[in-house]
Amino acid sequence: MPNGFRFVSRREGGILRGREPMRAPYGLEIIESCLSCSHREDRLFCNLPPAGVQGLAAITSPASYPKDATLFVEGQTPRGVFILCSGRVKLSTTSADGKSLIVRIAEPGEVLGLPATVTGKPYELTAEVIEPAQANFIARQDFLTFLREHGEAALRVAQQLGETYHSAIAEMRTIGLSHSAGEKLARFLLDLSANHGDEKGDIRVTLTLTHEEIAQMIGTSRETVTRLFTVFKKRQLLQVKGSILIIKDKAGLENVVSS
Q: Containing H/E element for 133?
A: strand 133-139
68: left (phi over 0), alpha (psi -120 to 50) or beta: left
Residue 146: partners with Cβ closer than 8 Å, 6 or more residues away: 55, 56, 59, 138, 153
- Cα–Cα distances in angstroms (integers) from residue 80 to residues 106, 112, 138, 143, 151, in the given order: 17, 9, 6, 7, 19
Please state the three-class secondary structure of 217-243 as a single string: HHCCCHHHHHHHHHHHHHCCCEEEECC
What integer pLDDT is reported at residue 34 of this predicted model? Answer: 65
Domains located in the chain, CATH noted: 11-174 (2.60.120.10), 178-258 (1.10.10.10)
Q: What are phi and psi of 52, to 5 degrees?
A: -65, -40
Averaged pLDDT, 121-148: 95
pLDDT band at 225 (very low <50, low <70, confident <90, very high): very high
Average pLDDT over residues 109-127: 94
Overall average pLDDT of the 193-214 stretch: 76
- Segment 93-118 mean pLDDT: 88
What average pLDDT does range 196-221 have in this prediction?
A: 80
Name the average pLDDT for the chain.
82
Instruction: Specify the higher pLDDT residue, 120 or 41.
Output: 120
Residue from 185, 216, 202 nearest 249 by CA:
202
Residue type, 56: L
State the pairing for strand pair 80-86/111-112. antiparallel
What per-residue confidence (pLDDT) applies to 5?
40
59: left (phi over 0), alpha (psi -120 to 50) or beta: alpha
Distance CA 46, CA 31 (A): 13
> Is a pLDDT exceeding 70 seen at residue 26?
no
Higher pLDDT, 85 or 174: 85
CA 250, CA 259: separation in Å to the nearest integer?
14
**What average pLDDT does range 213-237 have in this prediction?**
92
pLDDT category of residue 4 using cuts at 50, 70 and 90: very low
| In contact, 191 and 183? CB cutoff 8 Å | no
Q: At what angle do helices 50-59 and 151-177 cross, to 10 degrees?
A: 80
Is the four-CA dihedral 9, 140, 128, 218 of positive or negative sign? Answer: negative
Percent of the chain exceeding pLDDT 90 equals 40
Look at 165-179, 223-237, 242-256 and tell me which has the smallest mean pLDDT.
165-179
pLDDT band at 8 (very low <50, low <70, confident <90, very high): very low
